[in-house]
Structure 1
Amino acid sequence: MSDQPVLFSRAAASCRLTLNREDKCHAINEEMIESLDHYLNEIENDTTLRLVELTATGDKFFCAGGDIKSWSAYSPLDMGRKWINAVMTFLIACETYPN
Structure 2
Amino acid sequence: MIHYSCDRCKHVIDPAEDMRYVVKMEVQAAMEPLEGEEPESDRDHLLEIQEILKRMEDSDSDLLSDDVYSKRRYDLCSECYHQFMRNPLSREVPAHLGFSQN
TM-score range, shorter-chain basis? under 0.3
- TM-score, normalised by the number of residues in structure 1: 0.22
Between structure 1 and structure 2, the one with the greater Rg is: 2
Considering fraction of residues, name the structure with more helix: 1
**Structure 2 length normalisation: TM-score?**
0.22
